[in-house]
């Protein structure tokens, strides 16, 4: 296992950086170890042999025996203890021994490494006892990546059959051999097929058969094979990696080494036309595969070591006949060293009874929703939908404007000028003409809004009278003609025809609107949407309304839903009672909120609101309550004061806000307004004060601006200014300047990368 002690990173033996001494000869190693032999007394060697030959060996003696085997294998592979990977393994063995050793054994542990190195040199010189070290290695990968060829290269002979154009391994088989005294058992498996819908079933059957085969004797190491020359930005083996994780479990990646074959292939050109540097290309391919593994395991901390392999007969060789990679590395000895280090660390974990306290994948700790978020959702102002189409605030304004309803009809007629006639006017007259037209447009829109409000009121009154007289209003009304909504913007496609007809929607007078949810990032030739959106408002009984707004998304992996269902009793001259249920998916759980509100309009220009809510999430419940009061001063000024409290799961949050809103003279026709809000929130014995300013206004007839700013007591805030215009194209120069800066910065980055690669 790669995990040991307090270090939980799977990269403990990843990315080795062999030192120059790692390529030293066997003679240099024997001389070095013979000098270290003089530092250990004969008494210590005798004590070690007495402990290992006894009937019962303590745990530290077993670890020392494992260290001796490790040093003997290093001598046979020609690796020194200064190698970065070897030094890391020795440090972890020493650290693990110190954790488990008693106070009386500390001196023994501190001298165990030098003593084991001396004993290993003596045993290698005499050849006694015979080295007994076994390692079981599971081989996984797609078909044709070179799994069987790598096994043959490690043993130096044809142990398994290979095929260049068809799968060579059709069944699970064990390949046993000995390399430098190391007993290796490779579990050669049938190759997986490329990721597709049809091949996934076959791949799963193969994986399940491998899982049954290794159940009796689990492997020490897993080698996952990939072809280096097949890895690029279009790497599409994520479904295969995900299936491996599901079948074998996420723990398989603890002791997995990624093996990239065909490592001496020609390096492709980069996006800028320049050839990659070899090390840069290896790092690029490694990051691609590693990111897909992290996504399959749902853990960004996973980091597997990577080994490069080349089995081609024309691969360059050194004087010892070993194949060399383009970076000068001897891959065979490096692969054996990785396997030995992984096996040794796993045995140390077993001897000292270290358990893997860290599991790969997402955290399984119970999730707790944010109390400030639940409180802000409770304090949010909720509009009660009804068939009249207006809310209480707009209704107050319309009722107060009855004296001005005939102002538009009393205006004298005006001559509408053509464009050529308008251009002939002098500048002062142009301004007066545009002001007059803008004033008339505002009055006309007000008149239209009032007439539409009156029509809706009269329709509701006539419907009530027909119900009282026992008539069925549906039998006396002709069905309205459905209206076709505008086409949705479909994603780009290589097809010759446009599929916008799939998303067309008709709106009738039944207050039911159903539309597909378009996925702009969908695949070509796909349906294009994975969800639907539903909106409906209906009158169940007199003054009793119900509304449903929801959206559901479903694909092959995930399912999500968001819905708000509300039922309300609206008394035109009295209070309003409402109750609703909100459901929202969060991963595999659902957040369900039941809320109830009561609005009182007993006092003119004042609306009082009180409400309670109950939220359920992950078998925990949260209860909240709020009070709100709204005061209207004339048609333009509004004050809102609210306060609330949320409690549950041993936590509590409370807060409130005060808002002052000043609307423009032409509201609700023009949405000019300035809003100032002060908010206080207390959670976990910490209080946060914040203030925000929001404003939206017209700069001219063709320009609008919006400004928003906020600041809190933690000295955090932001300012956002947006300007839109249909005439002043000079504003677009800001975007041109930003694009130019981005392109120049990208060019500088490319030049820097090119210099580094050169």
- pLDDT for residue 583: 92
Tokens of 597: 């509100």
Give the pTM.
Answer: 0.49
User: Measured between alpha carbons, how far is 143 from 483 in angstroms, rounded to an integer?
Assistant: 57
User: Measured between alpha carbons, how far is 303 from 291 in angstroms, rounded to an integer?
Assistant: 9
- Beta bridge partners of residue 648, listed in sequence order: 622, 651
Using DSSP's 3-state secondary structure scheme, residue 374 falls into: helix
Using DSSP's 3-state secondary structure scheme, residue 480 falls into: coil
- pLDDT for residue 118: 87
- pLDDT for residue 29: 38
Q: Are 24 and 81 in contact (CB under 8 A)?
A: no
Query: Which among 11, 99, 627, 53 is positioned nearest to 303, based on CA atoms?
Result: 11
β-pair type (173-179, 651-663): unpaired
Residues of the chain with pLDDT under 50: 1-56, 357-358, 363-365, 473-476, 524, 753, 756-757
Q: Which residues, at least 6 apart from 392, have a Cβ–Cβ distance to it below 8 Å?
A: 599, 601, 607
- pLDDT for residue 358: 47
Q: Name residue, tokens 């500390």.
A: 106
User: Measured between alpha carbons, how far is 286 from 303 in angstroms, rounded to an integer?
Assistant: 10
Tokens of 562: 């968001």
Domains of the chain by residue range: 53-126, 134-312, 371-381+505-727
Long-range contacts, 466-473 (Cβ 8 Å, 24+): 467/542
Tokens of 162: 């290979």
Max Cα distance, the chain (Å): 121
Q: Are 660 and 673 in contact (CB under 8 A)?
A: no
User: Measured between alpha carbons, how far is 315 from 157 in angstroms, rounded to an integer?
Assistant: 16
Query: Which among 235, 239, 242 is positioned nearest to 260, based on CA atoms?
Result: 235
Concatenated DSSP letters of 212-273: HHTTSS--SEEEEEEEGGG-STT---HHHHHHHHHHH-GGGGGGEEEEEE-TTSPPPB-TTS
Phi/psi at 646 (5° precision): -130, 135
State the sign of the Cα–Cα–Cα–Cα dihedral 316, 319, 323, 327.
Answer: negative
Q: Would you tell me the crossing angle of helices 42-53 and 59-77 to the nearest 10 degrees?
A: 110
- Can you give the C-alpha Rg of the chain in angstroms? 38
- pLDDT for residue 38: 36
User: Measured between alpha carbons, how far is 160 from 153 in angstroms, rounded to an integer?
Assistant: 10
User: Measured between alpha carbons, how far is 537 from 367 in angstroms, rounded to an integer?
Assistant: 35
Query: Which among 698, 750, 757 is positioned nearest to 724, based on CA atoms?
Result: 698
Neighbour tally for 412: CB within 10 Å: 4
Tokens of 569: 């009793």
User: Measured between alpha carbons, how far is 23 from 20 in angstroms, rounded to an integer?
Assistant: 6
- Strand residue runs (E) in 542-619: 544-554, 559-570, 576-586, 589-600, 606-617
Using DSSP's 3-state secondary structure scheme, residue 44 falls into: helix
Q: How far is CA 385 from CA 390, 513, 543, 544, 677, in A?
A: 8, 15, 11, 10, 25
Q: Are 278 and 224 in contact (CB under 8 A)?
A: no
Q: How far is CA 567 from CA 382, 383, 538, 546, 582, in A?
A: 12, 12, 10, 4, 12
Phi/psi at 116 (5° precision): -65, -35
Query: Which among 580, 579, 583 is positioned nearest to 551, based on CA atoms?
Result: 583
- Taking the domain 371-381+505-727, which CATH number applies? 2.40.160
Q: Are 75 and 26 in contact (CB under 8 A)?
A: yes
Cis check for the bond before 47: say yes or no (omega within 30 of 0): no
The full length of the chain comes to 758
User: Measured between alpha carbons, how far is 425 from 431 in angstroms, rounded to an integer?
Assistant: 10
Sheet holding 221-227, edge to edge: 173-179, 182-188, 133-141, 221-227, 256-261, 306-308
Q: Are 433 and 417 in contact (CB under 8 A)?
A: yes
Phi/psi at 619 (5° precision): 60, 25
DSSP 622: E
Phi/psi at 427 (5° precision): -60, -45
User: Measured between alpha carbons, how far is 173 from 159 in angstroms, rounded to an integer?
Assistant: 11
- Beta bridge partners of residue 598, listed in sequence order: 577, 610
- pLDDT for residue 434: 81
Are both 134-312 and 371-381+505-727 of the same fold?
no
β-pair type (686-700, 673-683): antiparallel
Neighbour tally for 399: CB within 10 Å: 10
User: Measured between alpha carbons, how far is 167 from 145 in angstroms, rounded to an integer?
Assistant: 10
- Reply yes or no on domain 134-312 having CATH 3.40.630.10: no
């Amino acid at each position: 296992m790669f995990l040991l002690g307090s270090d939980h990173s799977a990269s403990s033996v990843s990315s080795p950086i062999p030192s120059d001494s790692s390529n030293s000869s066997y003679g240099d190693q024997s001389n070095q170890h013979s000098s270290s032999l003089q530092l250990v007394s004969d008494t210590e060697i005798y004590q070690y042999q007495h402990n290992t030959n006894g009937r019962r060996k303590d745990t530290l003696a077993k670890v020392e025996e494992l260290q001796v085997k490790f040093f003997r294998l290093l001598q046979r592979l020609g690796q020194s203890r200064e190698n970065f990977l070897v030094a890391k393994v020795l440090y972890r063995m020493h650290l693990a021994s110190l954790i488990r050793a008693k106070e009386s054994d500390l001196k023994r542990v501190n001298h165990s490494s030098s003593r084991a190195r001396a004993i290993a040199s003596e045993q290698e010189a005499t050849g006694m006892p015979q080295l007994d070290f076994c390692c079981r290695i599971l081989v996984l990968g797609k078909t044709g990546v070179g799994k069987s060829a790598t096994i043959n290269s490690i043993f130096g002979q044809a142990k398994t059959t290979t095929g260049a154009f068809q799968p060579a391994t059709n069944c699970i088989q064990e390949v046993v051999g000995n390399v430098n005294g190391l007993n290796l058992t490779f579990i050669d498996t049938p190759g997986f097929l490329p990721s597709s819908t049809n091949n996934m079933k076959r791949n799963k059957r193969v994986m399940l058969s491998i899982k049954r085969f290794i159940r009796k004797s689990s492997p020490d190491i897993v080698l996952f094979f990939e072809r280096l020359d097949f890895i690029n930005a279009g790497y599409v083996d994520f479904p295969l990696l995900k299936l491996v994780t599901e079948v074998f479990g996420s723990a398989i990646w603890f002791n997995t080494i990624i093996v990239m074959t065909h490592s001496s292939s020609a390096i492709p050109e980069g996006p800028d036309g320049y050839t990659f540097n070899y090390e840069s290309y290896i790092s690029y391919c490694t990051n691609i595969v590693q990111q897909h593994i992290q996504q399959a395991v749902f853990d960004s901390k996973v980091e597997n070591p990577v080994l490069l392999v080349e089995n081609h007969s024309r691969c360059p060789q050194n004087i010892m006949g070993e194949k060399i990679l383009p970076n000068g590395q001897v891959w065979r000895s490096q692969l054996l060293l990785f396997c030995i280090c992984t096996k040794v660390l796993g045995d140390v974990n077993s001897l000292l009874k270290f358990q893997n306290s860290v599991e790969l994948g997402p955290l399984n700790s119970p999730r707790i929703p944010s109390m400030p978020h639940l409180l802000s959702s409770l304090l949010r102002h909720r509009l009660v939908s009804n068939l009249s189409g207006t809310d209480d605030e707009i209704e107050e304004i319309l009722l107060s404007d009855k004296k001005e309803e005939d102002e538009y009809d009393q205006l004298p007629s005006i001559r509408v000028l053509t464009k050529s006639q308008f251009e002939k006017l002098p500048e002062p007259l142009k301004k007066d003409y545009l002001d007059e037209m803008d004033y008339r447009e505002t009055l006309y829109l007000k008149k239209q809004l009032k007439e539409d409000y009156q029509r809706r009121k009269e329709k509701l009154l006539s419907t009530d009278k027909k119900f009282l007289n026992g008539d069925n209003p549906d039998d006396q009304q002709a069905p309205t003609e459905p209206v076709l909504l505008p086409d949705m913007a479909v994603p780009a496609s290589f097809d010759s025809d446009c599929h916008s007809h799939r998303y067309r929607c008709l709106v009738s007078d039944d207050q039911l609107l159903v539309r597909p949810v378009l996925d702009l990032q969908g695949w070509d030739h796909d349906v294009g949407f994975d969800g639907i959106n539903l909106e409906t408002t209906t009158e169940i009984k007199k003054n009793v309304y119900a509304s449903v707004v929801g959206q559901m998304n479903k694909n092959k992996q995930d399912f999500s839903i968001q819905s708000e269902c509300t039922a309300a009793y609206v008394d035109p001259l009295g209070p309003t009672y409402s109750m609703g249920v909100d459901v929202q998916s969060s991963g595999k759980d659902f957040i369900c909120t039941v809320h109830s509100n009561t609005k009182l309009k007993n006092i003119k220009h004042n609306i009082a609101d009180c409400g309670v809510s109950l939220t359920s999430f992950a078998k925990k419940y949260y209860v909240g309550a709020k009070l709100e009061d709204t005061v209207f001063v004339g048609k333009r000024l509004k004050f809102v004061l609210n306060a609330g409290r949320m409690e549950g799961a041993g936590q509590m949050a409370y807060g409130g806000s005060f808002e002052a809103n000043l609307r423009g003279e032409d509201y609700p026709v023009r949405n000019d307004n300035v809003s100032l809000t002060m908010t206080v929130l207390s959670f976990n014995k910490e209080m946060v004060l914040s203030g925000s300013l929001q404003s939206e206004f017209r700069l001219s007839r063709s320009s609008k601006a919006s400004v928003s700013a906020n600041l809190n007591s933690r000295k955090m805030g932001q300012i956002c200014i947006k300007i839109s215009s249909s005439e002043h194209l000079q504003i677009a120069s800001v975007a041109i300047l930003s694009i130019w800066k981005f392109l120049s910065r990208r060019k500088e980055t490319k030049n820097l990368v090119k210099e580094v690669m050169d």
